[in-house]
Amino acid sequence: MPEDAVDRDHLLTNVVVHWLTGTAGSSARLYKEAVKSWDAVKPSTTPTGAALFPGEIALPARSIAEKTNTIVRWTEFDRGGHFAAMEEPDLLAADVRTFIGDLK
């Protein structure tokens, strides 16, 4: 459960800010539009990193991600979930730093 990993007030504050600033609707729209145009997606040449946490709702398959992204870093963690930045901030920050450092 998310509340076991993250303080409930912290979680609710983040959800409310996300919802009230209008980003929740635009985030959902991205998924809807992606499904409609899946076959028309042009592969990105931008170096892409993926940090996968086992408690995530749905984990992507690397073989599918590689069809539309230039994957240069793929990290699978042994802990953390959907709220990884709050649950495991040190793991995520270290992975982002390594990803950026490898781009140089």
Same domain, 20 and 48: no
Beta bridge partners of 76: 52
Domain that holds residue 56: 42-104
Q: How many CB atoms lie within 10 A of CB 62?
A: 13
Please return the burial class of 33, using the count of CB atoms within 10 Å of its CB with bins 0-12, 13-18 and 19+: exposed
The residues, ordered by sequence, that sit 6+ positions from 69 with a Cβ below 8 Å of its Cβ are: 43, 44, 46, 48
73 against 32, higher pLDDT: 73
Residue 91 pLDDT greater than 90, yes or no = yes
pLDDT greater than 80 at residue 27: no
Residue pLDDT, tens place only, 32-56: 666 666 566 788 999 999 999 999 8
pLDDT band of residue 96 (cuts 50, 70, 90) is: very high
Domain identity same for 61 and 33: no
Task: Tell me: do 46 and 33 sit in the same domain.
Answer: no
- pLDDT at 24 exceeding the cut of 90: no
pLDDT of residue 95: 97
User: How many distinct structural domains can be found in the chain?
Assistant: 2
80 and 56 housed in the same domain: yes
pLDDT at 19: 73
Residues 67 and 102: their CA atoms lie apart, in Å, by 22
101 and 88 both lie in a single domain: yes
- Mean per-residue pLDDT for 88-93? 96
> Which pLDDT score is estimated for 29?
66
